Amino acid sequence: MKTRELAVGGALELLPPVYPDERGLFCPLYEDGALDVPFRVRRSALSVNRAGAARGIHYAPDGDAPAKIVHCVAGRALDIVVDVRAGSPTFGRWDTVLLDSDRPRAVYLPAGLGHAFVALTGGTVLSYLLSTVYRPEDERAVALLDPALDLPLPGTRELVMSAADRAAPALAEALDRGLLPRYRTDSTKEDET
């Protein structure tokens, strides 16, 4: 599997091999040991979305943050990775990857990064592989529409967002309030949480 480093420290775009033939294509999306980072799958999830649906910027607190692999199994989405780790050399930096079911690729996020996406077509389905089990009390978010981040969001006025995502604090406010995860240099410890 080929990888491309994103502008956010530790985040990768995953470019798996694709094997097309007259039936369509086959693409191995994840194989244990294929990445240079430890990743143990403890949960799998799907997100089914209408066009314009926006989710995030979601993250989890210290000690409970999952590493993630996200890929698009139907439709198209603009995937967004934001460094929300207090003290990180890339704090506040973001990067995007166009996830498209016609050209399989994925995004790897180490523990502690913020994640968001905007569905660009109706019926967009994102699949998540996560390194921790779900705990609703660990759900956190910073504002997707934070003007200081200036994310390249398509159709900002028409985004369909949850009330919780609309009410999320700006990144600077979350930092001031001590709500953000801390940057760690030991990625093995983060990913095996």
Residues labelled catalytic: 58, 128
**CA separation for the pair 193, 158 (Å, rounded):** 37
Segment (H or E) for 45: strand 43-49
**CA separation for the pair 23, 25 (Å, rounded):** 7
Residues in contact with 49: Cβ distance below 8 Å, sequence separation at least 6, in sequence order: 55, 75, 77, 119, 123, 124, 125, 126
**CA separation for the pair 139, 128 (Å, rounded):** 16
Residues in contact with 102: Cβ distance below 8 Å, sequence separation at least 6, in sequence order: none
Question: Edge-to-edge strand order for the sheet containing 114-119?
Answer: 94-100, 76-82, 114-119, 54-59, 140-141
**Dihedral sign of CA atoms 85, 90, 92, 93 in order:** negative
